[in-house]
Amino acid sequence: MTNHRIIVLLFCLTLNIFASIAVNTAASIAANTAVAAGIPAASEVREEGVYLTKTEFETFLQQYQTEHTPQSSQSGLGKSLAWKKGLFTITPYGYINLSASYETERTTTGDYAVFANSPDLDGDSGFNVDPKSTRMGLKMESPGIPGWRGSKSEGAIEFDFQGAFQSRNRGSLLLRKAYVAVSDGQTKFLAGQDWEIISPLYPKTLNYTAGACVGNVGYRRAMLRVDRRTDFCNSSHLLTQFGITDHVFRDNTAVSPATSDWPVIQGRLAYTFGKGCFDHGKPITVGVSSHLGEQQFTFAGNDRKNLRTWSFNVDVDLPITEKLGFQMEYFLGENLATIEGGILQGVDAQRRNTIRAQGGWAAFTYQATQKLQTNLCYMIDDPFNDDVVSGNAGNNSARNYSHCLFINALYNWSDALMTGFEIDFWRTHWQRYDTATQTVTPLTPGTPVRYELTVRYTF
């Protein structure tokens, strides 16, 4: 505990000793606990002028007792795995994940799917067993900034093993999150790498990329971000988010990307309402978000251009009943490879300009029992045909349309052990540019069916 909190506790114990028997009893418990924890006596501190009302004191006391009571872990397996280091609480988390999949035609990348390959380019079937989605992380919590009442500090480091690898059983670390944040329940400041502000929802698929490049835009990147929550009443509030974010490049075959001289800007407004209007008591959330930036590309012949990237996005989270939920997202923009859009094509090497695209996804989730959940989702990413000639691949092939329909069932055998089975129906359209005739020829669409079994142990 900080000196500030020590003084608040001891002062309030004295101030409220005659308030009521109940408060007296609770205060005595807190004082004994504080002494056992080695908190210095009042004569050892020098801060003055801290006063709490009776309600504030009881809230503070409850928070103190909660912090010093062993909590259950996320998986519910007995006592928490967290440990203390001074004022820090450090909690490890993650899961061990194994995915086995069979594809009637190959997808990219195989271990997980982002789009289907054309049979004219790669028409074989494939079987994959992949443990590299195994994830680990550490969450840190500590007191907030002195003088910022009610604030707390937190940080997170998270990684998996889907980084670059030279052989299938030698996965390498991939940094997912690394950030520090300070918040008080209404305002939050974050610095580091976290999920993007735009399009925050994701379909509940077993596929590692969660719909990236086929309708679900957004990824993780470094940023400086501020969130502000404005409450209108007990059942509604507005969340305002703004961030200055790093450049992320996905076009890197036929073009050479580079950062611009200003960052990518992201923002989101989300209105939450309707809490208590339904039997299940869950609110509805509708959000709109956008990003705007500029990136530099160098085409053949050292032709260098600064090209804009922007998007407009809508997200909806609608709990229909206690068991049935609906979620959807929509996006529209250009040069979207940076946010996993345009089927991973932001610029066209032949046109030497940006590719516009639109798409999104819609999903129903049904919680059949406490242990069994099923999900049905349709995802689509549709670049503008006029903008796609040769794409940005080295063989002048391009993707001009892609969709995926999946259905899955997830069963929790315990709080820790889950197994899931999913069927994906993919369709990706391809074309190829002939440099000799300067014509575009359609290729055979990729139409694989993908079967995936996942076993996951969460801690």
Residue % of the chain over a pLDDT of 90: 68
pLDDT at res. 349: 92
Summarize the confidence of residues 329-347 as an average pLDDT. 96
Average pLDDT, whole number, for the chain?
85
pLDDT at res. 62: 55
Residue 221 has pLDDT above 90, yes or no: yes
* Inter-residue contact 191 to 180 (CB < 8 Å): yes
pLDDT at res. 113: 96
pLDDT at res. 395: 87
State the span(s) of the chain assigned CATH 2.40.160: 95-132+189-458
Summarize the confidence of residues 404-429 as an average pLDDT. 97
Summarize the confidence of residues 197-222 as an average pLDDT. 96
pLDDT at res. 275: 76
pLDDT, one tens digit per residue, over 69-87 is: 444 334 444 345 788 888 8
Residue 19 has pLDDT above 90, yes or no: no
Residue 235 — very low, low, confident or very high, per pLDDT cuts 50/70/90? confident
Residue 47 has pLDDT above 80, yes or no: no
| 394-to-104, 109, 255, 398 alpha-carbon distances in Å | 26, 17, 9, 10
pLDDT at res. 54: 52
Residue 58 — very low, low, confident or very high, per pLDDT cuts 50/70/90? low
pLDDT at res. 46: 35
Residue 392 — very low, low, confident or very high, per pLDDT cuts 50/70/90? confident
Residue 36 has pLDDT above 70, yes or no: no
Q: Kindly report the pTM of this predicted structure.
A: 0.81
Summarize the confidence of residues 192-212 as an average pLDDT. 97
- Which range is least confidently modeled, 82-86, 218-222, 345-349? 82-86
Residue 278 has pLDDT above 80, yes or no: no
Residue 126 has pLDDT above 50, yes or no: yes
Summarize the confidence of residues 439-455 as an average pLDDT. 97
Residue 123 — very low, low, confident or very high, per pLDDT cuts 50/70/90? confident
pLDDT at res. 276: 62
Q: Which of the four CATH numbers 2.40.160, 1.25.40, 1.20.120, 2.60.40 does domain 95-132+189-458 have?
A: 2.40.160
pLDDT at res. 397: 94
CA distance 179 to 157: 7
Residue 32 has pLDDT above 60, yes or no: no
**Strand pairing category for 284-299 and 303-319:** antiparallel
CA distance 176 to 154: 16
Summarize the confidence of residues 426-443 as an average pLDDT. 95
Nearest to 216 by CA among 329, 93, 76: 329
Residue 378 has pLDDT above 50, yes or no: yes
pLDDT at res. 55: 57
Highest mean pLDDT among 7-16, 31-40, 236-245: 236-245
Summarize the confidence of residues 249-269 as an average pLDDT. 87
Residue 249 — very low, low, confident or very high, per pLDDT cuts 50/70/90? confident
Phi, psi of 324 (to 5 degrees): -110, 130
